[in-house]
Amino acid sequence: MAEMLLFHHAHGLTPGVRDIAATIERAGHTVHVPDLYEGRVFDTLEEGGAYAQEVGFGTILERGRRAADGLTGALVYAGFSLGVMPAQLLAQTRPGAKGALLFHACVPPSEFGGAWPSGVPVQIHGMDADEFFVAEGDLDAARALVASTTDAELFRYPGDQHLFADSSLASYDPEAAALLTDRVLRFLDGVK
């Protein structure tokens, strides 16, 4: 079974993120879910994004890096939107990565030192009309990543919601979230 380090989105460590982690654990995997916001949870994406900007994205990345301290290097790194940044950083730079799951966002691999590492499979998930995923360049980064390696898959879902997998938010899409969860569990079952 796989071991995962899962980073939350800009709302913070919501009940919906905890529910996803619990679902993955019930399937037999180990999931670590650090709180990059030190207990803060925000009602709106704008409030959470403002907090992340106030604290600084460098601080968020460093909190993510510290969350991996003391854990095995043989991890699958996963993140939702804002949490993609530390997940992708660690997947690209920390030795022993077993895979990456990038939900609702993707950063060009050049931001973290170059090409996607060989032998590290990755899945990227986003909605076709999500204004953040499509208009802010994440979809383009995802397509480029998929084109650069044979170990990458991009899954697009119909709809325009950004954080569609979090059951505690108004943007939740049960059908898309169930499909995402199924794909994630199959991915994790294949991790060696």
Give the Å distances, CA to CA, from 32 to 56, 96, 138, 154, 187: 23, 17, 25, 24, 17
- pLDDT tens sequence across 128-183: 999 999 999 999 999 999 999 999 999 999 999 999 999 999 999 999 999 999 99
Which residues 6+ apart lie within 8 Å of 175 measured at CB? Answer: none
Give residue limits of the domains in the chain. 6-189
Q: Give the predicted TM-score (pTM) of the model.
A: 0.97
Query: CA–CA separation, 101 vs 61, rounded Å?
Result: 17
d(CA 179, CA 64): 27
Fold of 6-189: Rossmann fold (3.40.50)
Nearest CA-CA partner of 98 in 119, 112, 115, 79: 119
Distance from C-alpha of 55 to C-alpha of 35, rounded to nearest angstrom: 14
**What are the pLDDT digits (tens) for 69-126?**
999 989 999 999 999 999 999 999 999 999 999 999 999 999 998 889 999 999 999 9
